[in-house]
Amino acid sequence: MALIVTDENYKEVLDGGKPVVLDFWAEWCGPCRMVGPTIDELATEYDGKITVGKVDVDENADIVSAYGIRNIPTVLFFKDGQVIDKQVGAAPKDVFVEKVSRLL
């Protein structure tokens, strides 16, 4: 399962030494619910290689603001604490796998 990332712990997650994938989502967002299972699969398949987290945009305004999230789902891909790629909107799993492979 993906890690729950909040305003309080996101800096710690990003400084954890591994590449990070953050899914910005909301419970009421249909496309977010489509992407959610893919994010959970990535967390399982890449366990130990990357950190995969989920950010509820309704509860974490600071991180949403810090990264200028305007549309959801938005998935950000971090390496060394910096955003190196992103996916806005729902996409098939292979799109996410390709982006993750660039982190490794």
- In angstroms, the CA 43 to CA 98 distance is 15
Q: Contact, 77 vs 91, CB < 8 A?
A: no
Catalytic residues, by residue number, are 29, 32
- In angstroms, the CA 82 to CA 41 distance is 23
∠31-53-11 over CA atoms, to 5°?
Answer: 130
**CA nearest to 5, candidates 27, 28, 21, 29:** 21
